[in-house]
Amino acid sequence: MNAAQIIALKRDQLPLSTEQIEWFIQAYTDGSLPDYQMAALSMAICIHGMDKAEIRALTIAMLQSGVTLSWPHDARLRVDKHSTGGIGDKVSLILAPLLACCDVWVPMISGRGLGITGGTLDKLESIKGFRTDLSLEELQRLTEQVGCVITGTTKEIAPADRKLYALRDVTATVPSIPLITASIMSKKLAEGIGALVLDVKCGGGGVVRNMADARALAESLVEVGTAMGVSTTALITDMNQPLGKMVGNAVEVNEAVALLKGEGPKDLREVTLALGAEALISSRLATDKKEAHRRLEEILESGQASEKFSEMVCAQGGNLEQVCQVATPTSILANRGGYVSGVDAAQLGRIVVQLGGGRQRMSDQVDHAVGLEMRVRIGDVVEEGEELLRVFARKEATDPLITNLRSAIAIHDEAVGTGPLILERVQPVGSNEDE
């Protein structure tokens, strides 16, 4: 069977066999299958979806296009967290060192920002000298030495994903649950982990905007992780406003450092602890949520996680005394009083990209100094003239920037309720785990 016949099968909504999927991915990775045929198959998958067996086969084929880390027999259990991406999401910076203080290793392979959501690696590069390009040997050695690393992917890990993701980006085939699942899970499984917690962000500032899609994505990710022998759960968390107060790069590092020192915003702490608790329960280091929370809170309060973060930064060549200086702030004031009824998180993300804090194209340079600080949250009461947010920009903020920022915060006369931050937990089908 040739490539055109396989594409036609998918176009006609017929499942592909494991052999067909393996052949496609291998041929695409070695260059014998041209971009236009892979683009046609990706579009057919995007439109018609894939069944569970196909998604699993696609993930395995992509994983096997590269290496999987193997760890010594006496290694600690490896655990990781992955977020589908949201505005102000700096949880990885806190959670990696926090979990590393709990007798597990966290070999976190992270990504760069593209579009409205920032990337963990870009944030960390606000720290002078911090290396996000560790070799596989360095990644393993530093994980064993420190307990955690946060670094970029390497050419040896899931090369099929690297090539396919670039193609999807320019062929409008990013938003597809099978393709997202295989892309995320092939890279995570390559870390050689035993437990994984996924943070599926749901709302205007995330890749998925409604609960039905978030649930479908979370279930797909959990299904593949579980099938591959990794203890996997997911939390669907709110992304209708930025997580924490800060959005940008250096500002987010500063906020993460503050939280590690026991300060920092409540919502960020809540989501970080909830994900951490999932990771500890999946790793069998805590029997229930209460015990996991107690352990994580103790570690945060003792300053151990903060020390572990400093140790990781130092091991990766960074100097925490030299976080990029944040640009000059300008306050954006409310032009009316009332209740904050909504925040357009996607618009705030776009504005940070326009300021230079994110990328429109993968080749764009990131300005670590710019960003935003939220001064209000949904449900707050504001007076006319009160500060809604601060913008850290290279140039003085003038219209239309001020108008665009102000219009991202809706103010109405009626009070609005605030919903939960953790919207749902997704566990493997048939599992009786305690929530």
Tokens encoding 318: 């960074």
CB of 111 to ligand URA, least distance (A): 6
Ramachandran angles phi, psi of 220, nearest 5°: -65, -45
CB of 83 to ligand URA, least distance (A): 9
Query: What is the SS3 string spanning 388-404?
Result: EEEEECCCCCCCCHHHH
CB-nearer residue toward ligand URA: 45 or 256: 45
Among candidate residues 10, 56, 76, 82, the one labeled active-site is 82
CB of 28 to ligand URA, least distance (A): 15
Among candidate residues 80, 89, 161, 238, the one labeled active-site is 161
First to last CA, the chain: 47
CB-nearer residue toward ligand URA: 165 or 309: 165
CB-nearer residue toward ligand URA: 264 or 358: 358
The CA distance from 352 to 404, in Å, is 11
Which residues between 190 and 229 bind ligand URA (CB under 6 A)? none
CB of 180 to ligand URA, least distance (A): 4
For residue 238, indicate whether it is catalytic. Answer: no
Does 313 contact ligand URA by CB under 6 A? no
> Could you please report the per-residue DSSP string of 175-213?
S-HHHHHHHHHHHHHTT--SEEEEEEEESTTSSB-SHHH
Tell me 245's DSSP state: S
Using CB under 6 A as the binding criterion, the count of chain residues that bind ligand URA stands at: 7
For residue 82, indicate whether it is catalytic. Answer: yes
The CA distance from 405 to 2, in Å, is 52
Among candidate residues 162, 168, 215, 295, the one labeled active-site is 168
CB-nearer residue toward ligand URA: 200 or 426: 200
Which residues between 102 and 131 bind ligand URA (CB under 6 A)? 111
Among candidate residues 65, 126, 176, 183, the one labeled active-site is 183
- Residue among 57, 55, 146 at smallest CA distance from 105: 146
For residue 288, indicate whether it is catalytic. Answer: no
For residue 269, indicate whether it is catalytic. Answer: no
> Could you please report the per-residue DSSP string of 123-139?
HHTTBTT------HHHH
What residues contact 284, with CB distance under 8 A and at least 6 apart? none
Query: Are the C-beta atoms of 125 and 366 separated by less than 8 Å?
Result: yes
CB-nearer residue toward ligand URA: 174 or 227: 174
CB of 81 to ligand URA, least distance (A): 14
> Could you please report the per-residue DSSP string of 400-426?
THHHHHHHTEEEESS------SEEEEE
- Residue among 348, 405, 407 at smallest CA distance from 88: 348
CB of 179 to ligand URA, least distance (A): 6
Q: Show the binding pattern over residues 158-187: x = contacts ligand URA (CB under 6 A), - = does not.
A: -------x--------x----xx--xx---
CB-nearer residue toward ligand URA: 112 or 390: 112
Measured from each CB, the residue nearest to ligand URA is 183
Q: How many angstroms separate the Cα of 152 from the Cα of each of 75, 88, 149, 195, 402?
A: 22, 19, 10, 20, 35
Which residues between 251 and 310 bind ligand URA (CB under 6 A)? none
CB of 346 to ligand URA, least distance (A): 16
Q: Which amino acid is at 87?
A: I
For residue 74, indicate whether it is catalytic. Answer: no
Among candidate residues 81, 123, 163, 187, the one labeled active-site is 187
> Could you please report the per-residue DSSP string of 36-73?
HHHHHHHHHHHHH---HHHHHHHHHHHHTTS------T
- Annotated catalytic residues are 82, 161, 168, 183, 187
Residues at the site binding ligand URA, with contacts judged by CB under 6 A: 111, 165, 174, 179-180, 183-184
